[in-house]
Structure 1
Amino acid sequence: MTTSAAALPAIAPAAKAESFATRYGALCALLLLAAAVRLPLAFWPNIVHVDELYQYLEPAWRLLGHQGVVTWEWRDGIRSWFLPTLFAGPVALGDWLAPGGWGAFVVPRLVVGLASLSIVVTAWHFGERISRSHAIVAAFAAAVWFELVYYAPHTLSEPLATAVILPAAYLLTGELARNRLFTAGALLALACVWRFQYVPACAVFALAACWRDLRNTIGLVAGGCVVLVLSGAIDLAHGSAPFAWLVQNIQQNLLHDRASEFGDAPAAAYVLQASILWSGATLLMLLALWRGWRHAPLLIVAAVGNVAFHSMIVHKEYRFIFLSIALLIIAAGLGSADWVQMMRRQNPWRSLAVVCGGWLLLSLGLSGATLIMRDNWMRGIGVAQLMAELEADPEFCGLALYAINYPFVPGRGQLAARRPIYSFYRDDPLAKGRLPAVVRTHQAGFNRIIGPASLASELPADFSPRSCAMMSDDKLACVFARRGACDAPASPFGVNDVLVRLNY
């Protein structure tokens, strides 16, 4: 397996002499295309997983001096403050531009969407090592592929870590100059701090670089140490020992198997889900990857290794292997560009258009072809709609969440609700078996309730339904309202108190 610069086709001397506009005009156009596809989705309030709010944006919101939801991960200290610290700036800017939760939700998503463009740039540079056609096709595939587009604006560690791993992979599979090694080491360390489960995939690229010459280790380690020192300093600034969160995370999730409480799946789950999402395109993808192996074997090795590692972890979510998806799409894009060269004798531009058009049609078709993707696009939309209506309600002074999926609301409105939010959850030991009576006892503290439409009869008589929306569990939930103000006495049913009792 060889990925050195000597083993890759060189760029023609004429190409090197081209002007910047000529050489990178197509890349700039592809970046504009990718941005036009991704950035508007920052305003679409769907939620991949509640983690994008409660592990990253909510902690950033609390860093700015506001009240917020504190989940068990933060109470047990298994999360790094690195990403919330980075998000604090965009959250503050968003709240300044558009107060009330909307801006604090959207601006960080715009930042993450912009960061995802590094995937397109890296795909271009991998392809440029082979030919201009390979650069265009690989970058186009990375710009439009539906999974990369879907995850791009979500404030999760997986897309952000991928956005820095891919440039490092490019640097480590080319000419290994000292500055490249240092930069790649810093990028890989950054990714590992943000998503330490990606360490095995990062190790593939690091080991490949050091295998050729052990002296390369010096530059890699030096770059990595700079980031690790920065990460440790952030931990200290937040009052914890450097990397204590990592030790706690491993103890909770690997030794105590805490993550399995949130669901488990068989070892083949990732492969099965990918085959469902790609459906009829799976065979074409495999053929493209077979061709892509000639050009970028390390990308495929790292992708497969990452899937294998995550398959050994009982708790599985498709977003965990986002890095593998990006690596495979780039490798498949490089492989499919070979078909352009096979057809170019007739008309090179036509063959390029055919292959790029195939990527676009597949992506558009698959983005809504499966029930999984249709549900993904709509996840969290219902609750976001209800919360947005409450934000605009001048009489709203307190909210109760009644028997919904979570003891908290996975919607943008909670970021800056600035009003008391209570949670009445069926599994709460203080309310179990007597939820309707408990709500009636505490109803003076709130004048709005969000709860399932089917349980309207359990709510106090003076609460009447207003607007309703479908929740992510395909159940109808409504806002129930009563007239009058709120008297907010001390209550054991504040969201954070309930989370402590439930150990959520």
Structure 2
Amino acid sequence: MTSNAAILPIVTVPTAKSETFAVRYGSLCGLLLLATALRLPLAFWPNVIHNDEIYQYLEPAWRLLGHQGVVTWEWRDGIRNWFLPTLFAGPIALGDWLAPGGWGAFVGPRLIASFASLSMVVTAWHFGERISRAHATVAALAVTVWFELVYFAPHTLSEPLATAVILPAAYLLTGQLSRSRLVMGGALLALAFVWRFQYAPASAVFALGACWRDRRNALPLIAGGLATLTIAAGIDVLHGSTPFAWLILNIQQNLLHDRASEFGVAPAFAYVTLMLSLWSGATLLMLPALWRGWRHAPLLIVAAVVNIAFHSMIAHKEYRFIFLSIVLLVIAAGLGSADWVQLMRQRAPRARRYWALPIVCGTWVLLSLSLSATRFMHDYWVLGLGEANLAADLSADPEFCGLALYGLPAPFLPGRGQLALGRPVYSFYPSDPLAKGQLPALVKRHQQEFNRIIGPMTLASELPSDFSPRGCALMSSDHVTACVFARRGTCDLAATSPFKINDVLVRLNY
């Protein structure tokens, strides 16, 4: 059954039957190679955007493999589902087998996330191909090189992973529809919902667009979605949870009880302000490109605006939350900027017309390079490097048998080596009710349980005298210089300390 097209005014350009695969997709293959070259090396760069990519996804997957790990309040309260950790368990196991000690377990799933991000390049190409080959090239190149998309690609977060499946769904649910496209589009939107349900309002734009002119399209769309949701429910049951109980609990905690606000709030216009700061002068080019892009793909811009508006109503804000909007806007701007190629070809002398496409593509590359090198972005590129270096050094220390985190701005420490420390971790945190302002005395009393401490250099005088500093690093997330303090000797692993990290997190409700 073929149904009416969704409301997306994109002109389809027929392709000659004699056109070979190499001619038609040669540029796309080249751009995929470029995207791979830009993204895969970043999987090895120990940059951590947020604690969540370790403690909400990689640590739970590590625990699924039978290892000990940190359990945060989200998992204790049951507001997370096991779909992504289950998917990551295989790459983590393979990575740890190939490169033990935490390095492989960290890199394995990041490589998978990097490859998943290539779906955005392919989708941008196909959106553009509906108009012309130039539109396909410019849109795909924009997604390939745009600095924010490259930056987020390797990170094991739900936002870029959900975006990687929403984009193909958006393509399938626009243009000429069929039953198979509707089923597949519904399945992908449901998958994105399970991974990042906060993207549901933006996803609904594409679902409504597909059903706007023909309500019969809703049935295959729903059928595809139900198939994915059935698999998700099965994963919940496999892990001993009630299907989708996590969704209800998450809405209760974060949307109704506003639990996330405990981790910071921002005004409603914060996302717009941050986008303008990151895009800087490039905004002057992006806005007219988006204006022209509206003619080709209005639903992309509508979905982007809906997503930003929805997240702007939530008090707790992080830039990664609107990643989907950034990708949609870049594709729409890429389609709009490709119109300038046609304009230049029409107005330029015949001998110079071939420069039109390189000029527009080169502008995208230069804009991305310049914006990625700003001081503002520099702080993002180095997030978590200090923590990762300290954790990786510990995992390679043959004498290390127990770790204490002392007086740090947060009671846990993300890092590349965190996954496979394999030793007990203790946390002495000022807000711990059991500490009661007696951190120096407590760490001295329990020092036989660990022989390494990570703490701020400024608190070195509070540590037992037999601990001496070794390596130090700037913890970029908190702008605190922390050091590894070491003592000789073994650890009393039989001790039952109340300061093991998971016990501390329970008391702090972290």
What TM-score range do you get, normalising by the shorter chain? over 0.9
Structure 1 residue aligned with 2:502:
496
Q: Say which of 4, 10, 19 aligns to 1:8.
A: 10
Following superposition of structure 1 onto structure 2, how do residues 285-364 of structure 1 map, counting pairs within 5 Å? Answer: 285-345=286-346, 346=348, 347-364=352-369
1:113-163 deviation line (CA, Å, top 9, x unaligned): 000000000000000000000000000000000000000000000000000
**Aligned-partner Cα distance in 2 for 1:69–1:457:** 28
Q: Say which of 452, 459, 482 aligns to 1:455.
A: 459
Structure 2 residue aligned with 1:156:
157
1:222-275 deviation line (CA, Å, top 9, x unaligned): 100000111111111111111000000011112211111011110000000000
* 1:100/1:136 CA distance change after superposition, 3 Å: same
| Residue 423 in structure 1 maps to residue 427 in structure 2 | yes
Q: Displacement of 1:3 after TM fit?
A: 7.1
1:390-443 deviation line (CA, Å, top 9, x unaligned): 122111111111111221111121101101111111111111310010000000
Structure 1 residue aligned with 2:385:
381
| Residue 467 in structure 1 maps to residue 471 in structure 2 | yes
**Aligned-partner Cα distance in 1 for 2:450–2:10:** 66
**Aligned-partner Cα distance in 2 for 1:161–1:493:** 37
Runs of at least 4 residues of structure 1 off by over 4 A? 2-7
Stretch deviating more after TM superposition (484-493 or 260-269): 484-493
| Residue 399 in structure 1 maps to residue 422 in structure 2 | no
* 1:470/1:6 CA distance change after superposition, 3 Å: closer
Q: 1:54, 1:71 within 8 Å by CA — same for their partners in 2? A: yes
**Aligned-partner Cα distance in 2 for 1:287–1:103:** 44
Q: Displacement of 1:13 after TM fit?
A: 4.0
**Aligned-partner Cα distance in 2 for 1:348–1:88:** 52
Q: 2:6, 2:209 within 8 Å by CA — same for their partners in 1? A: no
Stretch deviating more after TM superposition (340-349 or 67-76): 340-349
| Residue 38 in structure 1 maps to residue 39 in structure 2 | yes
Q: 2:57, 2:88 within 8 Å by CA — same for their partners in 1? A: yes
**Aligned-partner Cα distance in 2 for 1:184–1:6:** 15
* 1:394/1:224 CA distance change after superposition, 3 Å: same
Q: 1:112, 1:154 within 8 Å by CA — same for their partners in 2? A: yes
1:40-94 deviation line (CA, Å, top 9, x unaligned): 0000011111000100010001111110000000000000111111111111111
**Aligned-partner Cα distance in 2 for 1:310–1:18:** 45
Structure 2 residue aligned with 1:479:
484
**Aligned-partner Cα distance in 2 for 1:458–1:13:** 73
**Aligned-partner Cα distance in 2 for 1:18–1:404:** 62
Q: Please tell me the root mean square deviation across aligned C-alpha atoms, in Å.
A: 1.2
Partner SS state of residue 469, structure 2: strand
**Aligned-partner Cα distance in 2 for 1:187–1:249:** 22
Stretch deviating more after TM superposition (386-395 or 265-274): 386-395
Structure 2 residue aligned with 1:121:
122
What amino acid is the match of 1:9? V
Partner SS state of residue 503, structure 2: helix
Following superposition of structure 1 onto structure 2, how do residues 166-205 of structure 1 map, counting pairs within 5 Å? Answer: 166-205=167-206
Q: 1:3, 1:298 within 8 Å by CA — same for their partners in 2? A: no
**Aligned-partner Cα distance in 1 for 2:10–2:71:** 50
Structure 2 residue aligned with 1:238:
239
1:455-488 deviation line (CA, Å, top 9, x unaligned): 1101100111111110122221111111111112
Q: Displacement of 1:349 after TM fit?
A: 3.1
* 1:463/1:354 CA distance change after superposition, 3 Å: same
Q: 1:3, 1:297 within 8 Å by CA — same for their partners in 2? A: no
What amino acid is the match of 1:208? G
**Aligned-partner Cα distance in 2 for 1:82–1:302:** 25
Q: Percent identity?
A: 73
**Aligned-partner Cα distance in 2 for 1:314–1:38:** 32
Structure 1 segments unaligned to the other structure (5+ residues)? none
1:272-330 deviation line (CA, Å, top 9, x unaligned): 00000001111111111001000000000000000000000111000000000000000
Following superposition of structure 1 onto structure 2, how do residues 130-145 of structure 1 map, counting pairs within 5 Å? Answer: 130-145=131-146
| Residue 282 in structure 1 maps to residue 299 in structure 2 | no
Q: Displacement of 1:9 after TM fit?
A: 2.2
**Aligned-partner Cα distance in 2 for 1:478–1:334:** 49
Structure 2 residue aligned with 1:250:
251
Q: Displacement of 1:333 after TM fit?
A: 0.3
Q: 1:277, 1:370 within 8 Å by CA — same for their partners in 2? A: no
**Aligned-partner Cα distance in 1 for 2:25–2:211:** 31
**Aligned-partner Cα distance in 2 for 1:446–1:13:** 68
Q: 2:5, 2:210 within 8 Å by CA — same for their partners in 1? A: no
What amino acid is the match of 1:144? V
Partner SS state of residue 215, structure 1: helix
Structure 1 residue aligned with 2:218:
217
Q: 1:5, 1:175 within 8 Å by CA — same for their partners in 2? A: no
Structure 2 residue aligned with 1:81:
82
What amino acid is the match of 1:424? F
Q: 1:3, 1:296 within 8 Å by CA — same for their partners in 2? A: no
Q: Displacement of 1:204 after TM fit?
A: 0.3
User: What TM-score comes out, normalization by structure 1 length?
Assistant: 0.98
| Residue 432 in structure 1 maps to residue 433 in structure 2 | no
How many residue pairs end up in the alignment? 501
